[in-house]
Structure 1
Amino acid sequence: MKISKVAVGLTAIAALMLTGCSGNGGGGGADSADKKSYDWDMTVTVGDTSTWYAGAEKFGELLAEKSDGRMTLNVFGNEQLSGGDPAAGVEQLMSGQKAFSYNSPIIYSGIDPRFSAITAPFLFDDYAQADEVIAATGLDAYKELAEEQGVKLLGFGESGFRQITNSKHAITKPEDFKNLKFRVAGSELFIDMYKSLGADPVAMNFAEVFTSLQNGTIDGQENPFDVIYSGGLPEVQDYLSILNYVYDPLLLGMSLDMWNELSEEDQAIVQEAADEANEFQIKMSRDREDEQLVEFKEEMQVDELSPEEIAAFREALQPLYDSWTPKWTETVFDAVNPAN
């Protein structure tokens, strides 16, 4: 599996500065200019053809460039540092065993259900609405949540709007889910969603999804375009339903302990690099969707649901709000609710 170590070329002087650098994603050592050097690890849940991975690589390039080579980032796809388990990967970040990760709030919600508020079904109509809410109040609310868990949130990347694939039949109405076995990420909210639609939800690490679809252990799964594409899922799925039913941002998180150890100058470098990398990753993800859809149509039956068909799903999933708002808390849900 590909591991990317991103760094700009160093001059001889800069190379000498790196002799005190520590490894394994940890801290730094003093150099001759009394500035520390860092060799950090970062993980993403999906593989090296994804926009997640490209965004992480861009982050590494920017860190190296802006720090004059003092900051090096090693990027690991498919949650290699936690045996393919994204929840364990988030716990590594929280405990300071690695420096950075891109993870969905769905994964964080297994630790604290408040993180799932932004992934409530049909919360956002489109990307413009999500962007507006996140910029106004959503990002600040999630920064507070992340810090409670030992994570410095450096901003949001994007996985995109989540869609449905399966191997049995087209899904265009809520009752089409009945008796189908669906893989969902390890989130109580998603398990409740799929049970309410009559499906049989199975929590499973993404690393196991392709094989499980291939051998028929599960009938379907749900993910944004880029994850479906980079995971090669059209090879083992026959039907794609475009529901745009959950907006899924990516938390670019850093170990809070490691963040606090940085100088103010280095904190500024890391934050600036993160802002630019997130912007790069989001643009790439959105730009690729049209191209990916064309390829999906060549490999699967694609059903783009009408507003009336989507309204039926909205109605079917609306009761979840009554049971989940107390778990999200009004404070967090209000911060991501476009109706406020």
Structure 2
Amino acid sequence: MKKKMTLVAAAFAASALTLTACGGGAGGDAGADGETYSWDMTITVSETSTWWAGAEKFAELLDEKSDGRMTVNLFANEQLSGGDPAAGVEMLANGDKAFSYNSPIIYSGIDSRFSAITAPFLYADYEEADAAIADGGAEAYMGLTEDLGIKMLGFGESGFRQITNSKKEITEPGDIPGLKVRVAGSDLFLDIYQELGADPVSMNFAEVFTSLQNGTIDGQENPFDVIYSNGLMDVQDYLTVWNYVYDPLILGMNLEMYEALSDEDQAIVDEAAAEANEYQINLSRENESTQLAEMEEQMTVTTLDADQLQAFREAMQPVYDSYESKWTPEVADAVKAP
């Protein structure tokens, strides 16, 4: 049986860290000496998303628990990396900013093992995803992020990914060939859509709305919260609910910077991250039904049944065959539904 553990968050701490008072940012008793910190944090999407709400909660909790010694400056839409989430992850790893919510999909561009938890049709629902993460998945990803010099504090959540487009209703694999679909910047997602016969395009999320609006692309795939909070229903006619990929969020901190904190300040960061992630996940799930209801007023929404989903699962078998060795047995087994 895999070791059970509590989900904590993943946050990248970087050189946007400013240290004052004696101690100069060294570890030991820095917190007791009154060390103060000013950190930057980014998210990939807009201020109307639950990602932003989780980041705000994290900043509030750090300020509260540290009696004002820890402050966080928040930036939406990957503003510090020119809208490029992959560059944003590199900034975090290099210590050029403090914190970020990022999907493992973005991390997979650095290490393909990160894409294991976003394998197509891996989980049927949130209950399965929660169980897998608690039963070894989070522990495995803590190890992966540490290999990059990042202290993972736990998972937030983007949700199950859906597909939208401006051309037609999607109910079976035969509906996808020929569609020009923007996908997240990951080899796995490019391969998924190539296997389905689509014309997948990787672009920064900041460019998606305009590209849908002017017809450069036909569709895109994202969870409800991202679709809704960025107004994509205004430029898309069809939404297919198929829950084909579960997408958690990594909230983290640069490992070297985390280890430089005193034990007391590490505990503050750990506790704030855990509470903020729980808040963000609950908010994201609570909002889904309302978001979907509003999108149904503007789009044709199709929810696939079990037989329709099975056809897509079978179509994905070549992708699984190709990626199992890239994920490695250790990581793939850690994220499987119990």
Structure 2 distance, partners of 1:132, 1:338, is 7
CA contact (8 A) 1:155 1:278 kept: yes
**1:76 match:** 75
Q: Which residue of 2 is the match for residue 28 of structure 1?
A: 19
Deviation of residue 318 (structure 1)? 1.9
DSSP-derived class of the 1:213 partner = helix
3-state SS of paired residue (1:210)? helix
Matches within 5 A, 1:157-168: 157-168=156-167
Write the distance in 1 (CA, Å) between the matches of 2:331 and 2:269: 26
CA distance in 1, matches of 2:135, 2:71: 32
Q: Secondary structure at the match of 1:123?
A: coil
Equivalent residue, structure 2, for 1:63? 62
Distance of 1:30 and 1:175 partners within structure 2: 64
Q: For residue 113 of structure 1, what is the aligned residue in structure 2?
A: 112
User: Using the alignment, how far apart are the partners of 1:261 and 1:68 within structure 2?
Assistant: 19
The answer to whether the aligner puts 1:301 opposite 2:300 as a matched pair is yes
Q: Which residue of 2 aligns with 1:278?
A: 277
Q: Is 1:170–1:240's contact at 8 Å kept on the other side of the alignment? A: yes
TM-score, normalising length from structure 2? Answer: 0.92
How far is the alpha carbon of 1:35 from its aligned partner? 2.2
Instruction: Mark the runs of 5 or more structure 1 residues left unpaired by the alignment.
Output: 1-22
**SS across alignment from 1:101:** strand
3-state SS of 1:48 partner: coil
Shift of residue 99 of structure 1?
A: 1.1
Is 1:38 matched with 2:70? no
1:150: how far off? 1.2
What is the 5 A alignment of 1:232-251?
232-251=231-250
SS of the equivalent of 1:179 reads coil
What is the correspondence of 1:1-340 to structure 2 with a 5 Å cutoff? 25-30=16-21, 34-338=33-337
Tell me: CA distance 1:69–1:31, structure 2 relative to 1, closer, same or farther (3 Å): farther
Letter in 1 for 2:58: F
Same amino acid, percent of matched pairs: 67
CA distance in 2, matches of 1:154, 1:44: 16
Amino acid aligned to 1:119: T
Residues 79 and 86, structure 1, Cα contact 8 Å, conserved in 2: yes
2:230 aligned partner, one-letter code: G
- 1:211 Cα deviation from its structure 2 partner: 0.3
Aligned counterparts of 1:139 and 1:116: Cα–Cα separation in 2: 13
The equivalent of 1:5 in structure 2 is none
Q: CA deviation at 1:25?
A: 2.2
- Distance in 2 separating the partners of 1:139 and 1:197: 30
1:253 and 1:171 mapped to 2: Cα distance? 36
Range that drifts further, 38-47 or 316-325: 316-325
Q: Quick check: 1:27–1:258 contact (8 Å CA) kept in 2?
A: no
Distance 1:75 1:27 in 2: 15
The structural deviation recorded for 1:305 is: 0.8
Q: Secondary structure at the match of 1:299?
A: coil
SS in 1 for 2:297: helix
Higher RCO structure (Cα 8 Å, ≥6 apart): 2
Structure 2 alignment gaps of length 5 or more? 1-13, 24-31
Deviation, structure 1 residue 157: 0.1
How many angstroms does 1:260 deviate by?
A: 1.2
Aligned Cα RMSD in Å? 1.2
Q: Any idea what the Cα deviations from partners look like across 1:155-195, whole Å, max 9, x if unmatched? A: 00000000000000000100100101000011000000000
- C-alpha distance in 1 between matches for 2:135 and 2:304: 30
How far did residue 49 of structure 1 move?
A: 0.2
Aligned pairs, number: 317
